Amino acid sequence: MAEAPEFDMPEFIPGTVWLVGAGPGDPGLLTLLALHGLRHADVIVYDALVNADILKLTRPGANMIYAGKRGGRPSANQPDISRTLVELAKAGQRVLRLKGGDPFVFGRGGEEALSLAQNGIRFRIVPGISAGIGGLAYAGIPVTFRTINSAVTFVTGHDSDGGTPAGLDWQALAKGSPVIVIYMALRQLDAISQRLIAAGRPGDEAVALISKATTGEQKVVLTDLSHCAARAQEVQLQPPTMMVVGPVAKLHQELDWIGVMKATQN
């Protein structure tokens, strides 16, 4: 077997911070650059949604600092996390900030990068596969499909205080986007579905709920807008859960490649 080609990776310089996306869960979805950073960092500041198997890829002896933020639970506050990154970098550490999904997609990576820039800390952004792309792919749901939708909207399921996003124009969202992908939707499923229906989406529109996407505990529930909240409670879905609204959700029935693989292995 031919050896894999080698190529240069950027040096992880002491006193710098890498903001790294860990992807939606499956360690196989890490980028090569993310893996390179994990193997060279002196300290890892990681989020709650980072798969424990990914943390095993860090170099021996690396300092591990938990900075998880989970809705409804005691969490590290954002100013303290940003301050920690600055202080560690100023102490000459190679600091890797590990965030679930992509750092710049509902991940507050922009806030942390801005803090680093304002404090004169050099940093690198390492994008990750966002759950709104990778999670849907693992559920057999194309985020776009040529004969169904030429646009998709990504929405956060809650604002900074945990409530339904108040700044959204629900009328425009409901009318303007054939497919809506809502991150972190579980706690607000009832409110979200009611707002979308009130804004004109049909109650029988297809909805897919994807819990713990790309992990061994992934669960996909196909339902509709009127019944999604009750259905999630019935099957006891756990966070993180994404909500997919629109006709592409139905494709899960035919494109559930994980289900097919499991069936053929048994």
Residue 54: which CATH number? 3.40.1010.10
Q: Number of folded domains in the chain?
A: 2
Residue 165 pLDDT: 78
* CA distances for 249 relative to 5, 8, 51, 103, 198, angstroms: 39, 41, 26, 26, 21
- Residue after which a domain boundary falls, among 97, 129, 161: 129
DSSP for residue 106: S
- Residue after which a domain boundary falls, among 79, 103, 129: 129
Q: How do beta strands 123-126 and 219-224 pair?
A: unpaired
Residue 2, in any domain of the structure: no
- Residue after which a domain boundary falls, among 91, 107, 129: 129
What are the tens digits of pLDDT across the range 107-149?
Answer: 899 999 999 999 999 999 999 999 999 999 999 999 999 999 9
The single residue of 69, 219, 224, 250 carrying the catalytic annotation is 69
Do 198 and 116 share a domain, yes or no? no
Residue 6, in any domain of the structure: no
| Intervals of the chain under pLDDT 50 | 1
Residue 3 pLDDT: 55
Residue 266, in any domain of the structure: no
Q: CA 44, CA 20: separation in Å to the nearest integer?
A: 10
Residue 46 pLDDT: 97
The single residue of 184, 212, 242, 256 carrying the catalytic annotation is 184
80 is an active site residue: no
Residue 1 pLDDT: 46
Contacts of 17 (CB under 8 A, 6+ apart): 85, 88, 89, 95, 96, 97, 116, 121, 122, 123, 124
For residue 190, what are the domain limits?
132-258
69 is an active site residue: yes
224 is an active site residue: no
Question: Which two three-digit tokens encode residue 105?
Answer: 């997609």
Quick one: which of 207, 205, 202 has its CA closest to 220? 207
Question: Which two three-digit tokens encode residue 62?
Answer: 């690396």
Residue 4, in any domain of the structure: no
